[in-house]
């Protein structure tokens, strides 16, 4: 799934390996505009 919920790769019912390319520009744009990410906390204390 991409950040907008679109399917970018599918698998059959049997066990398999899925490989797909990710457009990092789209991911970066989504991360900058998704409001919930601004409220996240770092719990790695």
**What is the Cα–Cα distance from 20 to 14, expressed in whole angstroms?**
18
Within 8 A by CB and 6+ apart from 23, the residues are: 2
Q: For residue 45, what pLDDT is reported?
A: 60
> What's the number of domains the chain is made of?
1
Residues 6+ apart with CB under 8 A from 22: 2, 8
Domain membership flag for residue 45: no
Indicate whether 15 belongs to any domain: yes
Within-domain flag for 25: yes
pLDDT the model gives residue 37: 65
- For 30, residues 6+ apart whose C-beta sits below 8 A from its C-beta are 3, 4
**Tens place of pLDDT per residue across the chain (45 aa):** 777 788 888 888 899 888 888 888 988 888 888 777 677 777 666
Task: Residue 27: count other Cβ atoms within 10 Å of its Cβ.
Answer: 12
* Residue 24 belongs to domain spanning: 1-39
| Residue 30, in any domain of the structure | yes
At 15 the pLDDT is: 92
Report the predicted TM-score, pTM, of the whole model to 2 decimal places: 0.50
pLDDT computed for residue 32 by the predictor: 84
In a domain, residue 44? The reply is: no
Q: Which residue's entry shows tokens 């996240």?
A: 40
């Amino acid at each position: 799934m991409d950040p907008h919920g679109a399917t970018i790769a599918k698998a059959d019912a049997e066990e398999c390996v899925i490989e797909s390319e990710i457009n990092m520009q789209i991911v970066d744009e989504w991360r900058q505009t998704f409001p919930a990410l601004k409220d996240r906390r770092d719990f790695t204390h």
